[in-house]
Amino acid sequence: MEPFIAAAVSLAVSVTLITKRKTNYLHLLFAALCFALFSDKIGSFLHAVLGTTYWRAVHYVGTLLIPPLLIMFARASFGYRTFLAIRDIMVTGLMSIIGILAFLTPLFPWARHDVLLFVYNGGIAFYCFTALLLYIGNEPAGPFRARMIAVAVACAITAVFGMIDIMGMLGHRMLPPLFDVAVAALIYFVFITITNPDLYEWYGTIIRSLSVVGAVLVSTILFYVIMALANQSTTMPFSGVFISLLFIVILIDPVKDLLRSAVNYFLKDYDDLAPLVDMGTVSRQKDYASLEEMATGLAHEIRNPLGSIKGAAQYLKAEAETTGTSKLLTIIIEETDRLNSVVSQFLNYARPHTFNVEKQDINRIVTKVVSLIKAKGAPSTITIEENLAAHLPGVKIDGEQMLQVLLNIALNGIEAMPDGGTLRFGTARIIGDGRRKVGISIADTGQGIEAKDRREIFKPFYTTKKRGTGLGLSICHKIVRNHGGTIRVESSSDRGTTFFIRI
């Protein structure tokens, strides 16, 4: 049962990664590794059940494909900053080919021993684990290092279960064989890690996963309680019920994604069936279309009377005889302009953004933002610092929209420092999950953002300013997300606020 669970989870993860709309090289490598593991486990399971040579061959080939794929995946995960080299892939690939030939032909009968297979795979796994530990030791503190430490702990726990299983095979059984279950859990954990590049999303996914495990544990206990109250006996062990329920829960999301992809593929040419394909997507598209239509109509209805009010106020101001009347008319004109600005920002938020995407140098955009701030007359009490990394890779973005994002955040930072302070711009090259990314940080030494406000600042119309619209950061968030990036904020009253953007 346990090898079948590991096989099913591996296959589900592999197919999910291959059919994802946004996949990358790291995802494809992990998908290949999972498929090799699927071949290993399903071959082992069916050989034990059916006893045929064919399934033993499937198990053997899958097992031998794991070492070179594991090294390739580890190298990509570490951003190729590791002692794992191409020669390691070539050597393990050659050894695996020899092993496959040993099973399929009588050329190397001495190599057809399961102990050799176990030592070979275990040695390569330990080799990659050593590379992981060294990488963690050299990686500076940060979100990616935290994720790698969690992966290392998960690998160590899986290895402990493997050693317990070995002790059981040697006649010192302490627990039921759970190594394959631990492997399935590790596969799922790594899947979560590589598909959630944002640390906060990753934390949320881990918490949800732990909650699921807790719920499955409670459900298993309730199953036995109900069976006892009903005076019904069951021969199923506790671990069997728990594993079966956990297996079903783990497969829900991958299978759901797989079915959605399959339905989308086969029904994509049938417009009449579109609502049946993805109700959520269709609903969101209709909501966006309705919002845009409503925003355009609302803007038209508001701007027409605003224009008349402003024109009348300007005419009356020119004819005003008293200072008091002139000041009142000035207020009318200023507030009319402010309302017009609110309408413009609402339209920017409601309309779907069209992108003029080109490969851009992010440092050039940051430098332009700094120039614009200085040209607008930044207060003399504000010091602007730039810490821009050299040789950054180009990023495919809409330069004008990204400039709008950085400028908006920077101006907010200046407003947060009425008594002066430092505004810092930073860029960095990020290599962590197999993709090249650029990180941008904008930090101020202002009064900070309270925790309750940090959770809401990206919501439309949420603002702590007396005269704010609450749409500036919402638009920034939408632009960054539409570029496939992430934006988050860290803030405290003693250190100020820092916005982190990854593209």
- Cα within 13 Å of Cα(191), Cβ side: 26
Taking alpha carbons only, the member of 163, 198, 267, 216 closest to residue 484 is: 198
Q: Which domains does the chain have, with CATH numbers?
A: 2-198 (1.20.1070), 278-350 (1.10.287), 358-502 (3.30.565.10)
Neighbouring CB atoms inside 10 A of 121's CB total: 17
Joined together, the tokens standing for residue 388 give 């821009």
CA distance 348 to 475: 7
> Checking DSSP bridges between strand 496-502 and strand 486-492, what pairing results, if any?
antiparallel
Neighbouring CB atoms inside 10 A of 247's CB total: 20
Q: Name the stretches of the chain with pLDDT < 70.
A: 1, 21-22, 106-114, 140-144, 169, 172-177, 197-206, 208-209, 233-240, 243-244, 246-258, 260-304, 315, 319-324, 338, 341-355, 431-436, 461-462, 464-471
From residue 309, give the alpha-carbon distance in Å to each of 170, 358, 433, 499. Answer: 90, 42, 56, 39
| 393 within 8 A of 436, measured Cβ to Cβ | yes
Alpha-carbon Rg for the chain, nearest whole angstrom, is 30
| 151 within 8 A of 189, measured Cβ to Cβ | yes
pLDDT of residue 72: 92
Residue 13 burial class via C-beta count within 10 angstroms: exposed 0-12, middle 13-18, buried 19 and up: buried
Joined together, the tokens standing for residue 204 give 């949320």
Classified as helix, coil or strand, 358 is strand
Element (H, E) at 428: strand 421-431
| 498 within 8 A of 441, measured Cβ to Cβ | yes
Crossing angle of the two packed helices 238-267 and 199-229, in degrees rounded to 10: 130
Joined together, the tokens standing for residue 470 give 């609450």
Which residue type is seen at 386? E
Taking alpha carbons only, the member of 343, 308, 497 closest to residue 415 is: 497
Taking alpha carbons only, the member of 384, 446, 385 closest to residue 415 is: 446
Q: Is 411 left (phi over 0), alpha (psi -120 to 50) or beta?
A: alpha
Sign of CA dihedral 447, 451, 454, 456: negative
CA distance 427 to 223: 54
Q: What is the pTM of this model?
A: 0.58
From residue 403, give the alpha-carbon distance in Å to each of 189, 391, 443, 461. Answer: 37, 20, 16, 22
Residue 80 sits at φ, ψ, to 5 deg, of: 65, 15
332 Cβ contact list (under 8 Å, min separation 6)? 309, 310, 313
Classified as helix, coil or strand, 466 is coil
pLDDT of residue 254: 61
pLDDT of residue 296: 61
74 Cβ contact list (under 8 Å, min separation 6)? 82, 84, 128, 131, 132
Which residue type is seen at 176? P
> Checking DSSP bridges between strand 382-387 and strand 421-431, what pairing results, if any?
parallel
How confident is the prediction for the chain on average, in pLDDT?
76
Joined together, the tokens standing for residue 432 give 């962590």
| 421 within 8 A of 428, measured Cβ to Cβ | no
